């Protein structure tokens, strides 16, 4: 008996040559990629890269100027209602009703999506348990912390048994511990409910455990693969040095202008290779106070592809957390 031929996973999301313009700004420029069923897929890029615009197109809030977006094979532009039934969505801007209780928010969402009463009550209890909010079910949403509200939004997105979960910057404004917890819930959801998860973020460290990562900047897809494959193909080793004086900094910058990729405060970042460190220390070892070596990472992948570090973009975004929360995401989309 011949061996069975493995069946490739189907596409839960399929984008083909999606473009979108806001006046003179080209927000998306021929974006194409597919997200497989039951995949944990990340869109990684700075604010303004086009991530939010893509999610708004997938959720039928926006229509693309050109191209096709499919959800489970359904054309979003032609049949938005059917496509939305398959989606659970968590937008960057909070959308809970603070005047209602935790349970009432879930109940209202189930009613809107036409979930039968008995099944609705069952799913509410399941989701409350999954995101560890059962003890808070009768509390007004306004009494919850930011992290708890995010968990509630994730629970709400799954009340109607959606098979695809879209999350736009779900951890913006949260502390590191809460961010880790949100990602733990996402991995648990994918494992327990066999759902597809598409999440956008500008935090590089968050996507290391994703199945695949799509790096997007300026409305274009720059690379798409597993985290390890991206590092092997595009990663660079970096050396971060802190010169003793401004004169030392100027000398190092001039000597290694072709390797210099950035500066934060007194610290200089240089592209490294096997022979670089020994040569650098021989010349400048007595003129620095610190040296740190970084192996190829997703951060250096982004640096290699764009010529700048995403950490600079992320730092700016963190400083503007509350402003972005009020406005609802990427300023230029």
How is 10-38 classified by DSSP, letter by letter? PEEEEEEEEEEEETTEEEEEEEEEEEETT
Please answer whether residues 297 and 237 qualify as being in contact, where contact means their C-beta atoms are separated by less than 8 angstroms.
no
Q: How far is CA 315 from CA 45, 93, 289, 292, 318, in A?
A: 13, 19, 24, 20, 5
Question: How much is the pLDDT for 328?
Answer: 35
Which residues are registered as beta bridge partners of 25? Answer: 22
* Average pLDDT, rounded, for the chain: 88
Q: Distance between CA 294 and CA 329 in Å, rounded? A: 31
Q: Which of 235, 231, 169, 237 is nearest to 203 (CA)?
A: 169
At 117, which helix (H) or strand (E)?
A: helix 117-130
Q: Distance between CA 234 and CA 301 in Å, rounded? A: 5
Question: How much is the pLDDT for 7?
Answer: 46
Q: Distance between CA 252 and CA 241 in Å, rounded? A: 10
54: helix, strand or coil:
helix
Whether 134 shows a pLDDT value over 90: the answer reads: yes
Question: How much is the pLDDT for 8?
Answer: 54
Contacts (Cβ under 8 Å, ≥6 apart) of 118: none
Phi and psi, residue 80, nearest 5°: -65, -35
Mean pLDDT in residue range 49-61: 95
Q: Distance between CA 84 and CA 177 in Å, rounded? A: 32
Whether 73 shows a pLDDT value over 70: the answer reads: yes
Whether 3 shows a pLDDT value over 70: the answer reads: no
Mean pLDDT in residue range 57-72: 96
Question: How much is the pLDDT for 299?
Answer: 85
Tens-digit pLDDT profile for residues 246-277 = 999 999 999 999 999 889 999 999 999 888 99
Please answer whether residues 59 and 92 qualify as being in contact, where contact means their C-beta atoms are separated by less than 8 angstroms.
no
From the CB of residue 253, how many other CB atoms can be counted at a distance below 10 Å?
A: 15
- Describe the crossing of helices 146-157 and 176-193 by its angle, rounded to 10 degrees: 20
| CATH code 3.20.20.70 for 11-231 | no
247: helix, strand or coil:
helix
Please answer whether residues 323 and 329 qualify as being in contact, where contact means their C-beta atoms are separated by less than 8 angstroms.
no
Q: How far is CA 271 from CA 45, 92, 233, in A?
A: 21, 35, 16
- pLDDT band per the 50, 70, 90 thresholds, residue 316: very low
Mean pLDDT in residue range 159-186: 89
Q: Distance between CA 269 and CA 97 in Å, rounded? A: 46
Q: Which of 69, 85, 59, 94 is nearest to 166 (CA)?
A: 59
Dihedral (CA of 110, 112, 113, 115) sign: positive
Strands 196-201 and 164-168: parallel
At 108, which helix (H) or strand (E)?
A: helix 102-112
pLDDT > 70: percent of the chain: 90
Question: How much is the pLDDT for 278?
Answer: 93
Question: How much is the pLDDT for 173?
Answer: 84
Q: Judge if pTM exceeds 0.95.
A: no
Please answer whether residues 150 and 174 qualify as being in contact, where contact means their C-beta atoms are separated by less than 8 angstroms.
yes
Question: How much is the pLDDT for 106?
Answer: 96
User: Which DSSP string corresponds to 67-101?
Assistant: EEEEETTEETTT-HHHHHHTEEEE-SS----TTSB
pLDDT > 90: percent of the chain: 67
| Higher per-residue confidence, 41 vs 317 | 41
Question: How much is the pLDDT for 282?
Answer: 95
- pLDDT band per the 50, 70, 90 thresholds, residue 24: very high
Mean pLDDT in residue range 40-63: 94
Q: Distance between CA 202 and CA 309 in Å, rounded? A: 11
């Amino acid at each position: 008996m011949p061996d069975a031929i493995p069946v490739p996973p189907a596409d839960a999301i399929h984008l083909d040559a999606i473009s979108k313009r806001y006046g003179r700004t080209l927000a998306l420029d021929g974006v194409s990629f597919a997200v497989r069923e039951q995949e944990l897929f990340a869109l990684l890029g700075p604010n303004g890269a086009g991530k939010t615009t893509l999610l708004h197109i997938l959720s039928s809030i926006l229509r693309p100027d050109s191209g096709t977006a499919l959800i489970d094979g359904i054309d979003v532009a032609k049949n938005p209602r059917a496509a939305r039934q398959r989606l659970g969505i968590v937008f960057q801007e909070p959308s809970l009703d603070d005047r209602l209780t935790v349970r009432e928010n879930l109940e209202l969402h189930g009613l809107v999506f036409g979930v039968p009463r008995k099944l609705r009550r069952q799913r509410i209890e399941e989701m409350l348990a999954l995101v560890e909010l059962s003890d808070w079910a009768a509390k007004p949403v306004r009494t919850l912390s930011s992290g708890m509200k995010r968990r509630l939004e994730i629970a709400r997105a799954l009340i109607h048994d959606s098979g695809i979960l879209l999350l736009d910057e779900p951890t913006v404004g949260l502390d590191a511990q809460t961010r880790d917890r949100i990602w733990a819930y996402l991995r648990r959801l994918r494992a327990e409910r066999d759902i597809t998860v598409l999440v956008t973020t500008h935090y590089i460290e968050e996507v290391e455990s994703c199945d695949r990562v799509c790096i997007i900047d300026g409305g274009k897809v720059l690379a798409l693969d597993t985290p390890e494959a991206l590092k092997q193909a595009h990663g660079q080793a970096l050396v971060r040095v802190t010169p003793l004086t401004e004169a030392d900094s100027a000398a190092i910058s001039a000597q290694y202008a072709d390797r210099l990729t950035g500066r934060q405060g007194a610290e200089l970042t240089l592209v490294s290779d096997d022979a670089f460190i020994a040569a650098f220390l021989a010349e400048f070892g007595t003129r620095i106070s610190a040296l740190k070596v970084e192996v190829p990472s997703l951060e250096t992948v982004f640096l290699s592809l764009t010529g700048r570090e995403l950490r600079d973009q992320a730092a700016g975004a963190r400083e503007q957390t509350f402003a972005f929360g009020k406005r609802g995401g990427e300023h230029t989309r």
